[in-house]
């Protein structure tokens, strides 16, 4: 979703010019130009097919994401329970119906993952994802995110997510998530798990999930 005040990159300009989103009527919103404009707006940062984008900062993949998770995170930005100055500005203007419609729209996209993850760490990451780390009290990632890493309900899809985005978020979990302790959400489950992983283990898990389709 568009970064306020920054010049658009070439991929962002192309996203505006050439992306062809499905109609709003197919995704639970009234067919109108407002929905189409919001989809284009999201794609200026998140890629032509919602596949994510690597620029000054890694922009996460939205394609194939669980709608319930996307809705929850947009509401967390609106309520400022999740810290991100860019997304504060983007999300607070969205109506509840628009939040739902956008979440449904991105669920149906399925582009190939972006490459760039270190392949030598993938085997370690797979083991952690499937088995966890008992000595660190870290459960298997698959227990919430699914064996295929495509998520379920409130638990997000990790398959195909950008390597550097996953790595960055896990390493800085409590600096962004759970900013209102009186109103915890599902993300609170991840705080002790993220803290239980070493930097190498985080990199390994990120490398494994990033190349899953």
The residues, ordered by sequence, that sit 6+ positions from 101 with a Cβ below 8 Å of its Cβ are 24, 27, 28, 29, 35
Beta strands in the chain (DSSP E): 53-54, 58-59
The domain spanning residue 175 has which CATH number?
1.10.760.10
Q: Token digits for 143?
A: 């227990």
Structural domain of residue 185, as residue ranges? 119-210
Contact assessment for residue 172 and residue 178, using Cβ atoms and an 8 Å cutoff: no
- How high is the mean pLDDT of the chain? 87
Average pLDDT over residues 193-210: 97
70-103 confidence digits (pLDDT tens):
999 999 999 999 999 999 999 999 999 999 999 9
| Of the listed ranges 37-41, 175-179, 203-207, the one predicted with least confidence | 175-179
pLDDT at 31: 55
In a domain, 114, yes or no: no
Q: Which of the listed residues 64, 81, 107 is the one where a domain comes to its end? A: 107
Split at pLDDT 50, 70, 90, the class of 11 is very low
Instruction: Retrieve residue 16's tokens.
Output: 């505006």
- Three-class secondary structure of residue 138 per DSSP: strand
Which tens digit of pLDDT belongs to each residue from 139-177? 999 999 999 999 999 999 999 999 999 999 999 998 999
Q: State how many domains the chain has.
A: 2
**193/5: higher pLDDT:** 193
């Amino acid at each position: 979703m568009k970064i306020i005040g920054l010049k658009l990159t070439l991929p962002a300009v192309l996203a505006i010019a050439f992306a062809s989103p499905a109609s709003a009527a197919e995704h639970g919103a009234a067919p109108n130009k407002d929905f189409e404009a919001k989809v284009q707006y999201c794609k200026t940062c998140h890629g032509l097919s919602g596949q994510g984008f690597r620029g000054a900062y890694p922009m996460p993949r939205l394609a194939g994401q669980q709608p319930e998770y996307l809705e929850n995170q947009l509401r967390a930005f609106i309520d400022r329970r999740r810290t991100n100055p860019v997304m504060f500005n983007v999300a607070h203007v969205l109506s509840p119906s628009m939040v739902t419609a956008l979440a449904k729209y991105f669920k149906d996209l399925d582009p190939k993952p972006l490459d760039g993850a270190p392949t030598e760490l993938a085997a370690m990451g797979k083991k952690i994802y499937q088995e966890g780390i008992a000595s660190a009290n870290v459960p298997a990632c698959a227990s919430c995110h699914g064996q295929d890493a495509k998520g379920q309900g409130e638990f997000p899809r990790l398959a195909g997510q950008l390597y550097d985005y996953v790595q960055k978020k896990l390493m800085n979990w409590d600096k962004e998530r759970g900013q209102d302790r009186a109103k915890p959400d599902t993300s609170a489950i991840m705080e002790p798990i993220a803290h239980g992983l070493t930097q190498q283990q985080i990199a390994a898990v990120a490398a494994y999930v990033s190349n899953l389709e």
